[in-house]
Amino acid sequence: MNRLDRIELIGNEVALLWADGTEQYILMERLRAASPSAENTGERDLVGRKFGGTDQKAYPGVTVRGWKPVGGYALQFDFSDGHNTGLYTFDYLKHLGAGGEAAS
């Protein structure tokens, strides 16, 4: 599991410093679009049918206003558009910072 040592807001990016010394920068708009919340990705029933979610892929001008830690494994961001329900695990953040695809 990845361990986050430090997080800062720099301009329109979230800067992450990992315990292994890796630094990553994620655009705030990308972070909002990649929210793993049910509001963004929807929810699936027992047979895999998707309910809810959004097709919106861009959030121009949305910024991060703050965050709070969730246990020792995730962050919950507070975005300027009012969204604040996604739990970004450290592994997911590291994946996003490396250019990986968002949750679907």
pTM of the model: 0.88
- Nearest alpha-carbon partner for 94 in 12, 8, 31, 38: 31
Contact yes or no for 62/29 (Cβ under 8 A): yes
Residue 58: CA count within 13 A, CB half-sphere: 2
Give ∠ CA 86-75-11 in degrees, rounded to 5: 95
- Please write the tens of the pLDDT for every residue from 34-90: 999 867 766 777 887 777 767 777 889 999 999 999 999 999 999 999 999 999 999
Task: Give the 3-state secondary structure of residue 43.
Answer: strand
Please, what CATH class does the domain formed by 4-97 belong to?
alpha beta
